[in-house]
Amino acid sequence: MRRLRTLSTVAATIVTGLVLAACTTGGGAPSDGADRTTAAVVVFQDLSSIDPAQGVDQGSMNAMHNFFEGLYRLDAQNQPVPAGAAALPEVSDDGLVYTIRLNPDARWSDGVPVTAHDYVFAWRRAVGMPNAAEHQRTLGFLQGADQIVAGTADPSTLGVEALDDLTLRATLRAPAAFFPSLLATPAFFPVPQHFVTAQGAAFATTSDHVLFNGPFVLEGFAGPGIGGDWAYARNELHWDADAVALDRVDVRVIRETSTAVNLFNAGEVDQVVISGPQVQANSGREDFVVDQTATVGFLGYNHGHPVLADQRAREAISLAIDREALTERVLADGSTPATGLVPPGLATSPTGTDFAADAGDALPTDTARAAALWQQVRADHGFTDLTLRLETFDADRIATVAEYLQNALETTLDGLTVTVTTNPVGVFLDKTARQDFDLYLPTWAATFADPSSHLSLFGTGESSNWGGYSNPAFDSLLEAARTTHAADAQARWDDLLAAQQVLLADHGVTPIYFQPSTLLRTPAFRGVEFRTSGPAFFFGNAYFA
């Protein structure tokens, strides 16, 4: 066995926050000062799920990192550091077997120890659920997961076992050097077997029907799709509770950016994400913050639509989009033109080059060619006018992009009408999962620091492949990266570059822009962690100074 780098003390590596006195502000408007232990932040979307096996949208996953905890968390370089584990894994020489010792001080919020059996139960439960395919891109690295999700094997055959209460063993289908980083994602979080079994269908329906093992417990969550504010309250039973500076983080759901900014300016909230005109108006302020993300906004297609199934139609749509004009003159919020599906800064090659740089720019603008292709499509499919329904979710930046797309496509492509429907995020996810759209406009943030985090979305049969795109050449390259070349870093890198090239040449989806995170944050509110892949806005190390 070879051992990955270990850390002398878990607490010393994962906790950097300043410990403050355990007192609250007593409510009222936030104010600067080291005596504060309560923060207030704004989000724009309801919390869709608090079940690690169910949450697939970024908002839910970001929230879950604050009240749940996996074996590892990611540091500032997106490298795993122990949390629910006592150390980094021991890995077999063939790269397939990971043996992990658990943190003996980890507890659920009812005081019951977190054991290896909870992880086994959680992972088997996740691959056996009706929506298991939603997490197949991550859980699929485990031996047997694909067969279980396909319904041809029992969850008990999954490549995970508890050697004892504090020792977990995971077996992979193929080597994956970034597997420890995957273990920091909600798909691999544990759930308390004793509590889930007792709760049955009620588990995770509200914050009263969950146990927590993270630095906070969740309060005030009324249920998926119900809406309303919630809060993170210090978890006194967390193994590192003494290093958590905040007693409480109140999360307010406010859909209008202007309203949220007004509350921030009035001192009523400490953090609000902004976009578009609000970025332009506030970028010179001391409290303006930019975090780099690995997030892409893209246009997806219903490949079962008789016109959109034609590659020429999709190419015409892509060529009609002026990404530079959109990002620089319309959004003007730090977004940049997409050059591919995989954003810059996510992953580097064995020789140290960035994936986006290696891939180059495969997304030109050519309105004349777009119009000509569209005329061919109209003639061959025998239509004069066509209406396409674009489904989006409720967010200011998305609304701006949707309005731009509507105008650009209708202006360039004769006879085309684009109707835009804006949905709450839960409804959007439901519609896209049912392929209830012609076009859809999401953003996707990397779950882990590897190009496959984005590319594997569109493999044939993937649950996240909402439009039903399928190309055997693309699938073959993804499979080679997962299996044949899994242990050959350069060959795997080349497979993924070629896979993106196939996807973009086929216009399976149309990447539009790379999205930063721009926000206003009270200067005294420090230590809020943001990762380019995985969780955004982890408050376990946050404090006021």
Q: What is the pLDDT of residues 151-167, one digit of tens each?
A: 999 999 999 999 999 99
Distance (Å, whole) CA 536 – CA 66: 10
* pLDDT grade for 138, boundaries at 50, 70 and 90: confident
pLDDT attached to residue 133 = 62
Distance (Å, whole) CA 294 – CA 346: 6
Q: Which residue has the tokens 């066995």?
A: 1
pLDDT attached to residue 18 = 25
Nearest to 118 by CA among 49, 197, 64, 55: 197
Measured in residues, the chain has a length of 545
pLDDT attached to residue 130 = 78
pLDDT attached to residue 272 = 97
Distance (Å, whole) CA 53 – CA 255: 27
Question: In the predicted model, what is the mean pLDDT of residues 333-354?
Answer: 94
Q: pTM value? A: 0.79
pLDDT attached to residue 474 = 98
pLDDT attached to residue 132 = 67
- In this predicted structure, the answer to whether residue 296 has a pLDDT above a threshold of 80 is yes
* pLDDT grade for 447, boundaries at 50, 70 and 90: confident
pLDDT attached to residue 19 = 26
Give yes or no for a contact between 16 and 516, defined as CB atoms under 8 angstroms apart.
Answer: no
pLDDT attached to residue 317 = 98
In this structure, of 25-39, 47-61, 122-136, the range with the lowest mean pLDDT score is 25-39
* pLDDT grade for 5, boundaries at 50, 70 and 90: very low
- In this predicted structure, the answer to whether residue 536 has a pLDDT above a threshold of 60 is yes
Distance (Å, whole) CA 89 – CA 415: 58
pLDDT attached to residue 31 = 52
Q: Does residue 292 or residue 304 have the better pLDDT? A: 304
pLDDT attached to residue 121 = 97
Question: In the predicted model, what is the mean pLDDT of residues 430-457?
Answer: 92
Q: To which H or E segment does residue 475 belong?
A: helix 472-482
Give yes or no for a contact between 439 and 413, defined as CB atoms under 8 angstroms apart.
Answer: no
Give yes or no for a contact between 294 and 531, defined as CB atoms under 8 angstroms apart.
Answer: no
pLDDT attached to residue 135 = 74
Give yes or no for a contact between 522 and 271, defined as CB atoms under 8 angstroms apart.
Answer: yes
Q: What's the chain's average pLDDT? A: 90
- In this predicted structure, the answer to whether residue 23 has a pLDDT above a threshold of 50 is no
- In this predicted structure, the answer to whether residue 260 has a pLDDT above a threshold of 60 is yes
Question: In the predicted model, what is the mean pLDDT of residues 111-136?
Answer: 89
- In this predicted structure, the answer to whether residue 249 has a pLDDT above a threshold of 70 is yes
